[in-house]
Amino acid sequence: MNRLRVAVIGVGALGRHHARILSELEGVELVAVADSQVDRGQEIAFKHHSRWVADYRELLDKKVVDAVSVVVPTVAHREVAGAFLEQGIPVLVEKPLAGNVSQAWEMVDLASRNHALLQVGHIERFNPAFQAAQKIIVAPKYIRCERTSTYTFRSTDIGVVHDLMIHDIDLVLSLVKSPLRSCEAFGIGVMGKNEDAAQARLHFENGCIADITASRISPTASRLMTVWSASGCVTVDMHQRDVKRFSPSDSLINGVSPLELAAQSEADLESLKKDVFGRFIKNDNVPVEAFGRDALTQELAEFVQCVATGEQPHVGGQQALAAMVVADRILQQIATHQWDGHEYGAVGPYPGATSRARKAG
């Protein structure tokens, strides 16, 4: 049986892992790695018994590759991934789909017109904690997400909205399944030309509200989600892979109200406090399946399977585009946020710089 010929375009900090995993997947042949840095490209190619090319355009031929994984800086996604899509070659491109919404639309259109599979690397869809939580979350009404990391000096060509927040935008959209009505947001840049911390509130047509926090200038890392619905609350720690569900017990639904019990003259309030979780509110640890593969391996394996079978991935071009559209609205709000409450004050992610510039003018 012929193996699927796959190449990796860009073998930096993340791309080298794509190359390693693809070289080990059953039914896959890593035929090439493309990277403009000679030493790095040759090192990864030699390590995985593949060949190195400096220019990805040498691989733009269905006679050479069956599919590619594109792991280049976001600003180059449209150019590089788009070139393969134009040739009808299936592409897995890392998130975000593109540098802006216009380019994202173009890539989705290219994939459609050339009948080429387009998958986008929203890896948290493969997080076993999220997958476990997704099975028990029904009709969410409020979602709170927090995603923080230390400053890694990677992905500096984009801000935190496209770097980190895009993950939770995609997860929220996958749970809510409703059009966005409006959003409010603000962000601040600290380390460079893009926003490094951002806060957004999303209002959906079905009444759901989502608050999303993202920061890449935090002293600690976290990936948390809390989801409220009519049936209770689900908390998800995607870093620790821990899921808990809090829901009303039969005693709370059908028994005497705990407030009535507390109002009784002989009530033992300390005992009632201890009974809140257990007697009145059930606290369940939701089983999280321990997959034999890490999330990136699962994502790449899905890509290979979809190329081979014609199946659709969890996050195709349309889903990634939807996340980009929401991210764009958030960025518009960040760019126009009035820190002093009026148009003559500081505006945008650099309020201090704006104020100084206006005073100097």
For residue 270, report the phi and psi dihedrals to the nearest 5 degrees. Answer: -65, -40
Q: What is the pLDDT of residue 359?
A: 41
Cα 108 to its chain centre, rounded Å, is: 18
Instruction: Report how far residue 346's alpha carbon sits from residue 352's, in angstroms, rounded to the nearest whole number.
Output: 7
Per-residue pLDDT of the chain (361 residues; tens, 9 = 90+): 589 999 999 999 999 999 999 999 999 999 999 999 999 999 999 999 999 999 999 999 999 999 999 999 999 999 999 999 999 999 999 999 999 999 999 999 999 999 999 999 999 999 999 999 999 999 999 999 999 999 998 888 899 999 999 999 999 999 999 999 999 999 999 998 899 999 999 999 999 999 999 999 999 999 999 999 988 999 999 999 999 999 998 888 888 888 888 888 778 888 888 888 888 899 999 999 877 789 999 999 999 999 999 999 999 999 999 999 999 999 999 999 999 988 888 999 987 754 444 444 4
Q: What is the pLDDT of residue 358?
A: 41
CB atoms < 10 A from the CB of 302, how many?
A: 19
Q: What is the pLDDT of residue 361?
A: 40
Any idea what DSSP says for residue 255?
S
Three state DSSP letters for 281-340: EEEEECCCCCCCCCHHHHHHHHHHHHHHHCCCCCCEHHHHHHHHHHHHHHHHHHHHCECC
Alpha helices in the chain (DSSP H): 15-24, 38-47, 77-86, 101-113, 128-134, 160, 166-176, 250-254, 258-263, 269-275, 295-309, 317-336, 351-360
pLDDT digits (tens, 9 = 90+) for 306-318: 999 999 999 999 9
Amino acid at 340: D
Instruction: Report how far residue 111's alpha carbon sits from residue 199's, in angstroms, rounded to the nearest whole number.
Output: 32
CB atoms < 10 A from the CB of 69, how many?
A: 29
Residues 6+ apart with CB under 8 A from 289: 128, 131, 132
Instruction: Report how far residue 178's alpha carbon sits from residue 234's, in angstroms, rounded to the nearest whole number.
Output: 20
Q: What is the pLDDT of residue 1?
A: 56
Residue 10: C-alpha distances to residues 124, 131, 303, 324, 353 (Å): 21, 29, 17, 22, 35
